[in-house]
Amino acid sequence: MREREFGRLAGTVYLDHAGATLFPQSQLTSFTNDLMENVYGNPHSQNISSKLTHDTVEHVRYRILEHFHTSTEDYSVIFTAGSTAALKLVAEAFPWVSPGPESNGSRFCYLIDSHTSVVGMRKVTTAMNVTSIPVRPEDVRAAETRGTAASDPDCQLPHLFCYPAQSNFSGTRYPLSWIGEVKAGRMCPMSVPGKWFVLLDAASYVSTSPLDLSVHQADFVPLSFYKIFGFPTGLGALLVNNRVAPLLRKTYFGGGTAAAYLAGEDFYIPRQSVAERFEDGTISFLDVIALKHGFDALERLTGGMENIKQHTFTLAQYTYTALCALRYPNGAPVVRIYSDSEFSSPEVQGPVINFNVLDHSGNIIGYSQVDKMASLYNIHVRTGCFCNTGACQKHLGISDEMVRKHLEAGHVCGDDVDLIDGHPTGSVRISFGYMSTLEDAQAFLRFIIAMQLHQCDGQPLPPTTPGEVGAPSESEAQDAVPATVDRCSSSPWEDAPTDSGVSNDLPTTVAAVGLHPPLPMATRTQQIPSEKAAGVLDGGLGPRVITNLYLYPIKSCAAFEVTKWPIGSQGLLYDRSWMVVNHNGVCLSQKQEPRLCLIQPFIDLPQKIMVIKAKAIRMVCSGMEPIAVPLEENGERTQICQSKVCADRVNTYNCGEKISSWLSRFFGHPCQLLKQSSNFQRSAKKRVKDQSAGSTATLSLVNEAQYLLINRPSVLELQQQLNASDANGKEELFPMKELISRFRANIITSGTSAFEEETWDEISVGSLRFQVSRGCSVILPQGLPMETDLRLWPGWWPGRWQVGIPCL
């Protein structure tokens, strides 16, 4: 079934089913055939095609209620844009009572372990002067034990209690019995007189488990269908208990919701049906029709939700047990799991595992590092706080004050700032779906083992002496242009340069940077740096010099080495001016398409062309002839389009069908070559200190800065650690020129001590002055995926370190 229905997962380990599960091929095929064979019109019309749509949509409503073991007698289905929209609908329509002379008003209680969309309901209640109260799971359990009841059972003041059937953070499953206990008044989240209603956030729970609403009759049940079927997205529903529906209030009315109204007077009569009253405008009826095919495929492939529940829990339990057993040689655990259960039963735990990876000393490794490492193994996980700050704070020990300090430090929800002052800001989550396999779980475990247990014992670095491989020759050192450094920081750990942007004090007119004594202007130089030009060692420091200069005309493609090159307003002229995009216009990187490293561009300035070649490795690019692309666009025929690079909008233009066909043939799927428009200005997000607001640097298609620099002695120290940690004991497992190439720096320096560059604030090269913006974290993964050709993945090697690369 996996091969037939999910062939696109070949070579991929998808473990983010709690985020979005995947649809099977037969579901999509059945749905598209349905659309091709039938005409579905707007359900608000009265023609034949509209009647077909209306009847099909009503059938789907029945199917949804049947799936949850109930019927139209007890529940109504209101289609929404998702579970978030369903929650917002409840917040706005619930019959809240504001405080007044006769009562203290309604209460809105929600479990701390709730999704952001639940917590966000309090903004609506606050506007009505209704008190919102977060409650801890242990407090609710204590109330369950005590059997706390309201003091006045006759009081009908409405209160609302919201809790998730399953935590989207940890997978903890809260008792469905709470629904009946709270509604009956035998258990209350807080002791106040009135009548409690229950909203069960079922979005995470129903993705892998059956929910019987005939037994657990919550008043409101929001859900999102892509969590269950994978497709369609952007469609959810609110299941409303019919006994509660008459209490709901509505202010706005949209198309299809009115029985009658007057345009000139305040006269409006809503439709009788709950669904028709709350579904403003035309619903997404084709997506609703797609649900029928989702139900069909789910039942045909799995036999029902009970089977999914058992299968996914078994995989999670197996993985949890294996992770708990992982230990370093010193006995320290490899991971710290955040859970309220011991995965004993699917009744208390869903197929979700939340954790952080630890080093052998017990220090947490940031989730961003783990995510990047996993992506290299083509393992898809979720990281961060998962839109559940309450659970994140509880399990990670983050106080309210720390949340505020993290925000002041620049951390916001969803970014990759994973550690602040050594404390984690989030974690890693894996989750299973019905199409997950034991092989998926084992592949993930092998990844964790390879990443952390490949070699964990630190070993002293072997002594080195001048003249070893990695040191530049005397002639090379003499030929290089001296560089001076303004060192304003006393150590790598004190007053390190901040992420402050890029200096723009460079010449705006084209000027040449000479790296050797006077030579003719070099149009292209493809010299591979010799092994002797690898770096210098402490104790034998010469003048600070630049030994190599690289540009990367096409983003994520191979380097183009030069000895002399013009400086433009955005950095080295034509550096990262082009990018390869897929059929959707999304920029490709080597993570998605590793063969980008085989695309070798050469720039010929006199001819005003870029020649692109495909490096031949095995049978990868047999018969690919070089192709030329103009350096500049033809203004008369160029059509500007908008693209996105590193969350920035950029204006680009297509370089033509000829190069698109060439790239598509090479990669085996549709691709295009885009170039940033010459008249488009993209500004750096941050400025360096003492830089005025009007002098922000302009960027090409780079990530953050105009130039990247790397120091040979730092790479040499890394090389020594890599070779020392190699379990096979090979000598010089990683040649310097290969290590340097993997950092994709523009400027290679020498004549300094290792990691001295971390203290630099400014660099001068001749008359040019560069300001250091920040250090770029580069993660070097440990261990290779099975059957990986290292030559196709230049970013991988055993070992894991963080190395700072100054951005200029």
Alpha-carbon span 685 to 632, nearest angstrom: 26
Cα–Cα distances in Å, from 159 out to 125, 193, 241, 727?
11, 9, 16, 63
C-alpha to C-alpha distances, 376 to 321, 483, 612, nearest whole angstrom: 25, 36, 26
- Residue 21, CA distances (Å) to 8, 136, 229, 311, 799 in order: 14, 29, 7, 15, 33
> Can you say whether the dihedral through the CA atoms of 530, 531, 535, 538 is positive or negative?
negative
- Which ranges of 377-418 would DSSP assign to H, the alpha helix? 389-396, 400-408
567: phi then psi, degrees, rounded to nearest 5: -100, 130
Burial 478-492 (b: 16+ CB within 10 A, else e): eebbebebeeeeeee
Q: Beta 379-380 vs 13-14: how paired, if at all?
A: parallel
Strands (E) in 617-691, as ranges, are: 627-630, 640-645, 648-654, 672-676, 682-683
For the question of residue 387 being annotated catalytic, the response is: yes
Amino acid at 244: V
Q: Which of 486, 484, 488 is CA-nearest to residue 498?
A: 488
Tokens of 18: 């709690």
- Which residues lie below 8 Å from residue 273, measured CB to CB, with a gap of 6+? 76
- In degrees, rounded to 5, the angle at the alpha carbon of residue 210 between the alpha carbons of residues 187 and 84 is 70
Helix (H, G, I), strand (E, B) or coil at 648: strand
SS (H, E, C) 232-289: CCCCEEEEEECCCHHHCCCCCCCCCCEEEEECCCCEEEECCCHHHHHCCCCCCHHHHH
DSSP state of 639: -
User: 200 near 208, Cβ under 8 Å?
Assistant: no
Residue 96: phi and psi, rounded to 5, are: -60, 145
End-to-end CA distance of the chain: 52
Report whether 760 contacts 806 (CB < 8 A). yes
> Among all chains, which residue has been given the structure tokens 């897929």?
582
Task: From the candidates 387, 587, 655, 671, give the one annotated as an active-site residue.
Answer: 387
Q: How is residue 512 written in tokens?
A: 């040449």
- 3-class secondary structure per residue, 761-800: EEEEECCEEEECCEEEEEECCCCCCCCCCHHHCCCCCCCC
Distance in angstroms (rounded) separating the CA atoms of residues 96 and 248: 10
**Residue 691 neighbours by CB under 8 Å, 6+ apart:** 500, 501, 503, 504, 771
Residue 120 CB burial class (10 angstroms; 0-12, 13-18, ≥19): middle
Identify the burial level of 46 via C-beta atoms within 10 angstroms of its C-beta, where 0-12 means exposed, 13-18 middle and 19 or more buried. exposed
Q: Are strands 609-614 and 258-262 parallel, antiparallel or unpaired?
A: unpaired
* Cα dist from 476 to 471, 473, 756, whole Å: 10, 5, 21
Contact between 93 and 252 under an 8 Å Cβ cutoff? The reply is: no
For residue 189 the two structure tokens come to 């989240």
Amino acid identity for residue 421 in this structure: D
21: region left, alpha or beta (phi > 0 left; psi from -120 to 50 alpha): beta
Read off φ and ψ for residue 64, nearest 5 degrees: -65, -45
Q: Tokens for 81, please give them.
A: 């844009």
Residues serving a catalytic function are 387
